[in-house]
Amino acid sequence: MKKIISLAVFLCPVLLFAQNFKITGRIGKTNPKVTKVALYYARNGQNILDSVEVHNGTYIFEGSVYQPTRADILAKYDGKVQPRMSRDLKTIFLEPGNITINSTDSFSNAVVSGSASNVEFEKLQNMAKPYMSRAAAASRDLEAHTKSKNTAARDRVQTQLDAINNELKEQVYKQYFKANPNSPIALFALQQYAGVLMDDPVETNALFNQLPAKVKESAEGKRFAQLINFTMRGNVGKAAPDFTQNDANGKAVKLSSFRGSYVLLSFWASWCAPCRAETPTLINLHNKYGNSLKIISVSLDKPGEKKKWLDAIQKDKMTWTQISDLQFWNNDVAVKFGVSSIPQNILIDRNGNIIARNLRGEALQQRIAELLK
């Protein structure tokens, strides 16, 4: 059964033709027995959710893609056992032609053949493994410190995790891309290098221009180009675009009225757990530098959910300026600054210029301490 869910963000038309793929999967002796298999991927701006029954240890998927496309394949059981990501999930690449997947013990260890994209993807995964192992360990420590509300330890581990992720991006994804710009997964590698927050859209754009024309002109290529251009709106070195938006009491707040002070724009939402985990850092900054650093928290809460926004402000004891137009991802300030993921911080100097982006925890506190010493 195939379901299609439209994506509203960064959608653009495509003139290329989709080509067919066929997956033939074989399942060995697994305990418990797999009864269904699900396949998740995106095609031309739409999310595809497909699932099929397993018959005599075999399953078949058929579909079409415009270019090599990342997909997740997931084992499902009879309802008595829940799938586990560590055991039952396999990330693969779809491409035109016949693909075979053999899973003797678990989906996570399945062997994929008949696909040049998956050969390259396996190379990339092997390059990333040492960094991913370190990141996983740091993530576990981060979760433990967050639960215990040990803010200092959490910030320290967050800085370590950020450093590991930066190494991964620079030493694996960027290096792979530079050495293999014509690889069928080159765009995927570039997207991993850019990251969710796209710390360096200028560098990302320079690398993007090295891709083959057919990749840049594909639906995914055009969508990624739009994201690069969108993020550049709030890039470091630019003048911060002025805005006026109402605070929690309905009073208009204008960014230019803070000229002469450093300003930290913090983009968050009441529904965003990682955002709210950053609140202790903001409280510390506000208490320490409140006279010379002005914090403006911009909420991307949804229409009709003002109470959730206000309740979160009160519960988290956020006593600085809070603004929102309750338009979710269409928040006017977020759009002006090219924000497509949260939590995200943008630091503005006394002259109204953007001087830093995406700093968190200990790294954010160190930068502000240097500015205000």
CATH of the domain at 88: 2.60.40.1120
Instruction: Show pLDDT as tens, one digit a residue, over the chain (373 residues).
Output: 444 333 333 333 334 577 999 999 999 876 678 899 999 999 877 899 999 999 989 999 999 998 899 999 999 988 777 888 888 999 999 999 999 999 888 888 899 999 999 999 999 999 999 999 999 999 999 889 988 988 889 888 988 998 999 999 999 999 999 999 999 999 999 999 999 889 899 999 999 999 999 999 988 899 999 999 999 999 999 999 999 999 999 999 999 999 999 999 999 999 999 999 899 999 999 999 998 999 999 999 999 999 999 999 999 999 999 999 999 999 999 999 999 999 999 999 999 999 999 888 888 999 999 999 8
- For 150, residues 6+ apart whose C-beta sits below 8 A from its C-beta are none
- The answer on 340 and 248 residing in a single domain is yes
Residue 339 in domain: yes
Q: How many distinct structural domains can be found in the chain?
A: 3
- The answer on 223 and 157 residing in a single domain is yes
- The answer on 173 and 66 residing in a single domain is no
**Both tokens of residue 325?**
């137009």
- The answer on 339 and 254 residing in a single domain is yes
Domain end: 56, 78, 112, which one?
112
C-alpha separations of 292 from 133, 217, 245, 349 in Å: 41, 47, 22, 11
- The answer on 95 and 137 residing in a single domain is no
- The answer on 206 and 125 residing in a single domain is yes
Q: Considering the entire predicted model, what is its pTM?
A: 0.83
Indicate which CATH number applies to the domain containing 302.
3.40.30.10
Range of the domain at 54: 2-112
In 3D, which of 371, 366, 333 has the Cα closest to residue 234? 333
- The answer on 250 and 181 residing in a single domain is no
* Cα-based torsion angle of the residue sequence 192, 197, 200, 204 in order, rounded to the nearest 10 degrees: 40
- The answer on 172 and 102 residing in a single domain is no
Domain end: 112, 135, 163, which one?
112
- The answer on 166 and 136 residing in a single domain is yes
Domain end: 58, 83, 112, which one?
112
- The answer on 126 and 159 residing in a single domain is yes
Q: How far apart are CA 74 and CA 27, in angstroms?
A: 12
- The SS3 call for residue 169 is helix
- The SS3 call for residue 340 is coil
* CA terminus-to-terminus distance, the chain: 61
